[in-house]
Amino acid sequence: MPIVGNPAPDFEAQAYYKGEFVNFKLSDKRGQWVYLLFYPLDFTFVCPTEILAFSKKAEEFRARNCEVVGISVDSHFVHKAWAETERAKGGLGGVDIPLVADLDKSISKSYDVLAGAVALRGLFLIDPEGVVQHATINNLAVGRSTTEAMRVLKAFQFVQEHAGEVCPADWDEGVEPMKASPEAMAEYLATRID
C-alpha cells in the first residue's frame, strides 16, 4: 500500500533538541504540519548540508505551522555529539530541528526508506490530521532542496484552504492556481502554458 494518502506511521523515540534529550512522539504533533527528514548517518557527507539547510529555514517552516524533524539510525547520544561538534571538525555547530534516534531502524522500516544499515533520504510531509500528503526518496548521493520542500508545503496548504482548486506544475505563491474541472484545465493550458 502506498504511504501517500494514508495515515503516517506513528512512532515514539528519543531525540536530541536544543541541548537536551527529549521524547518525541509523532502523534503529539497533530494539529500542525510535519516534515520527516530521513537521512543516512551523522558525521557523514551530504547529511550535514541537509540538516544545516533545513535548520536554517526552521523558523520559516514554523511560521507556516510546520515542524521539520531529522531522523537517522544513529542514537540520540551520537546526535548530541554531532550537533555540538563545531563545523570545522565535521559537526553541525548547533541545530534548530529535533534529531530523532532510530537505532533499532523501526521508524525507517515503517516509512520504507531502510536500505541495508541506513535510511535513504526520505522526505515525508504529514498534514495536521496525520495523513502523509507528499513523499520523496533520494538515493544516498543527492540531497534535498529546502526551497522545493517549502514550495510543496505551500501548495498543500493552499489546496487544503481552497476546496476545488489545484496547484499545477511549478506552482508557488503568486502563481495562478487551477480549478479542478475539465473546462478550467483546458483554459489553463490554452492561456498559461507556452
Q: What is the mean pLDDT of residues 45-63?
A: 98
Quick one: average pLDDT of 77-101? 97
Residue in 105, 82, 106 with CA at minimum distance from that of residue 95: 82
pLDDT at position 99 over 80: yes
> What structural domains and CATH numbers belong to the chain?
12-141 (3.40.30.10)
Q: What's the whole-model pTM score?
A: 0.95
Whether the predicted pLDDT of 22 surpasses 70: yes
Whether the pLDDT of residue 143 is over 90: the answer is yes
Give the per-residue pLDDT at 159: 96
Q: Is 47 a catalytic residue?
A: yes
The pLDDT, as a whole number, for residue 1 is 61
Checking if the pLDDT of 28 tops 80, the result is yes
Model confidence band, residue 189 (pLDDT cutoffs 50, 70, 90) = confident
pLDDT band at 176 (very low <50, low <70, confident <90, very high): confident
Q: How far apart are CA 133 and CA 138, in angstroms?
A: 17
Calculate mean pLDDT across residues 69-88. 97
Task: Please enumerate in sequence order all residues whose Cβ is within 8 A of that of 122, keeping only pairs 6 or more positions apart, or say none.
Answer: 36, 37, 38, 108, 111, 112, 113, 135, 136, 137, 138
Residue 185, pLDDT above cutoff 90: no
pLDDT exceeds cutoff 90 at 188: no
Catalytic residue among 8, 34, 36, 47: 47
pLDDT at 194: 65
